[in-house]
């Protein structure tokens, strides 16, 4: 899939959110949740209780919990959510301010998707642009560099040092070019 140029202020989370979401009932055993998250290739699952979003659990939460515990015992709650029209920049700022890796996307009481930090890091700038623009994730104007984010290096994005670091920690093999 070819990356498109996006503006973090005018594009919204609906444009980058995943709509295939792993959900689990609150009473699901941790061992079952581990298996399901692994099978689906997800980093987190949303915990539902009577049709309501009750919490979120990530792989590391599940690894630390006892196998027989319910996921409700290791989930994070309450969950910070955003509507689909939230700008990408606002979503990044919410994640940064709350040290989150993802945000569920809701319309009213309905769960419609999830936006992750890694999906925000896929915001591309025009590869022909040689002047550095503010960080495409958080808007910082300090310690900017270009990170190649595609395997064939056909596109790149402007990132500050902390956002480049997060991208590297997620195994995306970035290079500092500028």
* Residues sharing a CB contact under 8 Å with residue 19, sequence separation 6 or more, in sequence order: 112, 113
Residues 113 and 60 in one domain: yes
Q: Given pLDDT bands bounded at 50, 70 and 90, which one contains residue 101? A: confident
Residues 86 and 35 in one domain: yes
Range of the domain at 97: 13-119
Q: Given pLDDT bands bounded at 50, 70 and 90, which one contains residue 167? A: low
Residue 163: both structure tokens together: 């956002």
Domain contains 107: yes
CATH of the domain at 85: 3.10.580.10
pLDDT at 133: 64
Q: Given pLDDT bands bounded at 50, 70 and 90, which one contains residue 137? A: confident
Residues 97 and 43 in one domain: yes
Q: How far apart are CA 49 and CA 72, in angstroms?
A: 9
**Over 60: is that where the pLDDT of 147 sits?**
no
Residue 13: both structure tokens together: 């989370």
Residues 159 and 139 in one domain: yes
Averaged pLDDT score across all residues of the chain: 77
């Amino acid at each position: 899939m070819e990356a498109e140029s996006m503006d973090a202020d005018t594009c919204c989370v609906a444009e980058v959110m995943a709509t295939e979401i792993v959900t689990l009932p609150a009473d699901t055993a941790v061992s079952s949740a581990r298996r399901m998250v692994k099978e689906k290739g997800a980093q987190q699952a949303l915990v539902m209780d009577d049709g309501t979003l009750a919490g979120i659990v990530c792989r590391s939460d599940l690894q630390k919990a006892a196998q027989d515990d319910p996921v409700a015992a290791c989930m994070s709650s309450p969950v910070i959510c955003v509507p689909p029209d939230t700008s990408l920049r606002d979503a990044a700022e919410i994640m940064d301010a709350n040290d989150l890796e993802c945000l569920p996307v809701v319309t009213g009481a309905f769960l419609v998707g999830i936006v992750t930090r890694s999906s925000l890091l896929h915001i591309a700038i025009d590869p022909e642009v040689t002047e550095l623009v503010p960080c495409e994730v958080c808007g910082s104007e300090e310690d900017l560099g270009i990170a190649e984010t595609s395997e064939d290096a056909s596109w790149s994005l402007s990132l500050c040092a902390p956002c480049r670091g997060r991208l590297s920690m997620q195994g995306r093999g970035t290079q500092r070019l500028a």
